[in-house]
């Protein structure tokens, strides 16, 4: 059912976005949840490669059935990454909360104190991914920027 | 495995707390999730009865294995109730978010706008219950009071 094994990698070993703080943190988070040590011998490019969904890859993913654990662990890694970077930027503890139903819908929150710094409805969880590492970095930076602004505007609540 | 069938009811039909707005809303919420119509012929007292855990009942509940769906639906009904009453009190939409792991730990949130009005760590989910309806009402009122205060103190964030 799953596609990774047969597919050619999309992310090149010299992709300059592999040096971006967001991708570096994604690699850390993905390696952290790799409890079987599958990634131990993999390069960073290979670890983040499944997050890049080209049109062909997207089409190859069946959306029937529950989203698999690997997909969900990638979504968690992504929001853990945002939380980590938000924490670095604001100096306040940021806690990700992910709720995904069996049907592949859900909600991702990042809480800072009593403030909901990020609130994202998740749809089409089966096909979680980005067109390129560049697109991932751009989206993450946009979300981070909004969250950090919210924290700074309502710092009293974020410090509760 | 489950105990309800053999057990004598604890909540009496004339328990005065059955008239309390919190218990009335609990009944509404519990009936709302009763998709098989099991409760259709049941009195309100019987519907809320499993929420009352006497020492004997508590001891009879096994804590191994995943918490069952009925228990989780009761926890959801409880936080839906708090959200409903908080909404009535503050005039703002209150959204419950419940996360429960397979092991029976979790977190219950009630969000009002961008404010985390209630944040409760859930432990020992298998044994979710109260000593009496009175104890349930007292606990719910305490949580509601705190949540409403928070909303009133940080109304700007709650209105986001």
For chain B, how many residues are written? 160
Residue with tokens 């926890």: B75
Tell me whether residue B112 is in a domain. Answer: yes
Report the pLDDT value the prediction gives residue B99, as an integer from 0 to 100: 87
Q: Please, are residues B108 and B74 in contact by the beta-carbon 8 Å criterion?
A: no
**How much is the ipTM here?**
0.80
- Inter-chain contact B116–A115, Cβ cutoff 8 Å? yes
- The predicted model gives A72-79 an average pLDDT of 91
Tell me whether residue A91 is in a domain. Answer: yes
- Which structural domain range is residue B40 located in? 16-158
- Inter-chain contact A119–B116, Cβ cutoff 8 Å? no
Tell me whether residue B2 is in a domain. Answer: no
Please state the domain count of chain A: 1
Q: What percent of chain A has pLDDT over 90?
A: 56
Tell me whether residue A136 is in a domain. Answer: yes
Q: Please, are residues B114 and B99 in contact by the beta-carbon 8 Å criterion?
A: no
Tell me whether residue A21 is in a domain. Answer: yes
Mean residue pLDDT across chain A: 88
Report the pLDDT value the prediction gives residue A1, as an integer from 0 to 100: 42
Instruction: Express each pLDDT in B35-69 by its tens digit.
Output: 788 888 899 999 999 899 888 888 888 777 777 78
Distance, CA of B57 to CA of B61 (rounded, Å):
7
B114: nearest CA partner in chain A: A116
Instruction: Express each pLDDT in A95-127 by its tens digit.
Output: 999 988 767 788 999 999 999 999 999 988 888
Report the pLDDT value the prediction gives residue B70, as an integer from 0 to 100: 82
Tell me whether residue B105 is in a domain. Answer: yes
Report the pLDDT value the prediction gives residue A70, as an integer from 0 to 100: 82
- Inter-chain contact A115–B114, Cβ cutoff 8 Å? yes
For residue A6, name the pLDDT band (cuts at 50, 70, 90).
low
Residue A59 pLDDT > 80: yes
Tell me whether residue A66 is in a domain. Answer: yes
- The predicted model gives A88-96 an average pLDDT of 95
Q: Please, are residues A82 and A96 in contact by the beta-carbon 8 Å criterion?
A: yes
Beta bridge partners of A111: A95, A116
Beta bridge partners of A99: A107
CATH of the domain at B23: 1.10.3100.20
For residue B7, name the pLDDT band (cuts at 50, 70, 90).
low
Q: What does the block give as tokens for B31? A: 């009936």
For residue A58, name the pLDDT band (cuts at 50, 70, 90).
confident
Instruction: Express each pLDDT in B60-116 by its tens digit.
Output: 887 777 777 888 888 999 999 999 999 999 999 999 999 887 677 889 999 999 999
Half-sphere exposure (Cβ direction) of B18: Cα atoms closer than 13 Å: 14
Tell me whether residue B3 is in a domain. Answer: no
B117: nearest CA partner in chain A: A114
């Amino acid at each position: 059912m799953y596609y990774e094994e047969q597919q050619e990698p999309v992310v090149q070993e010299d992709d300059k976005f592999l040096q971006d703080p967001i991708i570096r943190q994604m690699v850390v988070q993905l390696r952290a949840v790799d409890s079987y040590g599958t990634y131990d011998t993999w390069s960073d490019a290979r670890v983040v490669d499944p997050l890049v969904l080209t049109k062909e890859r997207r089409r190859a993913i069946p959306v029937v059935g529950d989203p698999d654990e690997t997909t969900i662990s990638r979504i968690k890694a992504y929001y853990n990454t945002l939380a980590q970077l938000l924490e670095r930027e604001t100096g306040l503890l940021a806690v990700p909360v992910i709720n995904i139903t069996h049907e592949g819908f859900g909600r991702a929150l990042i809480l800072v104190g009593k403030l909901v710094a990020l609130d994202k409805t998740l749809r089409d969880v089966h096909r979680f991914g980005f067109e390129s590492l560049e697109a991932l970095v751009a989206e993450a930076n946009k979300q981070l920027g909004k969250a950090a602004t919210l924290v700074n505007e309502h710092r009293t609540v974020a410090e509760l």
